[in-house]
């Protein structure tokens, strides 16, 4: 399978489908990521707060896959925001991953109450200039936070990784991102299993029509919207299922029905006051 690549505003390309490791148990991570790589995933999304960067790094090293074929993202945790602390946290993440560089480094949450995301962003710029992160971006930033970064630093994030699934499509943030050349990554693409997305008629009808599973239909919806997506599963058969989404296409009518499920129904924290 060849996964489409999305060109970012800095010229680098990212595989549009990857594998996320939030809530993947640290002791099991090496085995689970090894399975994902065997299934065919080449893009892994982790974070310092997931406490499984070491396991990710061990699986990557053991796979023997050339570094340039892999795409690795990690993230700066909230308590490490600040200029010096961000530089130190990045070094520690790179060390745990056992890598010379990451493909993408993100500020995990804006944490507006601490007001350190602009100085953290300047540290990320420095990291990118050093070559140890190919691209830099943010996560859970709303339009006003993105605007402030751009106004105060002139550096536009390559991506914004936000909670995004049919019940919570964040139209304001995605419109701002589109206007400013920022790629959107959907986290919780299946709604984290916290609402019955995979049982909704809008999804199951399309699944039946194409002979695919509801999860495959939802992943396809993200891909056809142009979002970058990395569903998580500990189970190899589901990893394979979630990767097997390039042999069918949802019609405009099917896309519209699923898009009609928007109800501002977030399953995660509110970025305006989290952290």
Interface residues toward ligand NAD, by CB under 6 A: 20-22, 45, 108, 139-140, 161, 187-193, 198, 215, 230-233, 238, 241-242, 268
Q: Do 161 and 106 form a contact (C-beta atoms < 8 A)?
A: yes
Q: Tell me, yes or no, if 71 is annotated catalytic.
A: no
Residue reference for tokens 């305006």:
272
Phi, psi of 257 (to 5 degrees): -65, -40
Choose between 116 and 186: whose C-beta lies nearer to ligand NAD: 186
Q: Do 73 and 102 form a contact (C-beta atoms < 8 A)?
A: yes
Among all residues, whose Cβ is closest to ligand NAD?
A: 20
Q: Output the smallest distance, CB 172 to ligand NAD, in A.
A: 18
Q: Which of 50, 105, 117, 195 is catalytic?
A: 50
Q: Output the smallest distance, CB 56 to ligand NAD, in A.
A: 11
Choose between 42 and 238: whose C-beta lies nearer to ligand NAD: 238
Buried b (16+ CB within 10 A) or exposed e, 175-204: ebbeeeebbbbbbbbbbbeebebbebebbe
Choose between 123 and 189: whose C-beta lies nearer to ligand NAD: 189
Tokens found for residue 220: 């396809």
Phi, psi of 174 (to 5 degrees): -70, -35
Phi, psi of 19 (to 5 degrees): -130, 125
Q: Output the smallest distance, CB 210 to ligand NAD, in A.
A: 15
Q: Do 124 and 86 form a contact (C-beta atoms < 8 A)?
A: yes
Tokens found for residue 205: 């009808």
Q: Output the smallest distance, CB 192 to ligand NAD, in A.
A: 4
Choose between 141 and 176: whose C-beta lies nearer to ligand NAD: 141
Question: 93 vs 31, 54, 127, CA distance in Å?
Answer: 20, 9, 12
Q: Output the smallest distance, CB 106 to ligand NAD, in A.
A: 7
Cβ partners under 8 Å of residue 167, min gap 6: 191, 195, 197, 261, 262, 263, 264, 265, 267
Choose between 130 and 208: whose C-beta lies nearer to ligand NAD: 208
Active site residues: 50
């Amino acid at each position: 399978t060849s996964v489409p690549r999305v060109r970012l505003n800095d010229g680098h390309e990212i595989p549009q489908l990857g594998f996320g490791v939030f809530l993947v148990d640290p002791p099991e991570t090496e085995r689970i990521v090894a399975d994902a790589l065997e299934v065919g995933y080449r893009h892994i999304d982790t974070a310092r707060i997931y406490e499984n960067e070491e396991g990710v790094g061990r699986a990557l090293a053991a796979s023997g896959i050339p570094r340039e074929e892999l795409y690795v993202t990690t993230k700066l945790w909230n308590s490490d925001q600040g200029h010096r602390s961000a530089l130190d946290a990045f070094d520690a993440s790179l060390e745990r991953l056992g890598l010379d560089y990451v493909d993408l480094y993100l500020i995990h949450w804006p944490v507006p109450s601490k007001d350190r995301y602009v100085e953290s962003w300047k540290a990320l710029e420095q990291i990118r200039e050093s070559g140890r992160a190919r691209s830099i971006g943010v996560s859970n930033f709303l339009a006003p936070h993105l605007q402030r970064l751009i106004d105060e630093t002139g550096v536009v994030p390559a991506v914004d990784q936000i909670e995004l699934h049919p019940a919570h499509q964040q139209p304001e943030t995605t419109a701002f991102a589109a206007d400013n050349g920022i790629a959107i990554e959907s986290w919780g693409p299946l709604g984290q299993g916290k609402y019955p997305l995979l049982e909704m008629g809008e999804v199951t009808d399309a699944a039946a029509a194409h002979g695919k599973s509801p999860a495959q239909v939802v992943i396809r919806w993200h891909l056809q919207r142009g979002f970058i997506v990395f569903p998580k599963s500990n189970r190899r058969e589901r990893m394979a299922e979630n990767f097997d989404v390039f042999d069918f296409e949802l019609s405009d009518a099917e896309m519209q029905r699923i898009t009609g499920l928007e109800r501002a129904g977030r399953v995660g924290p509110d970025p305006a006051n989290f952290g």
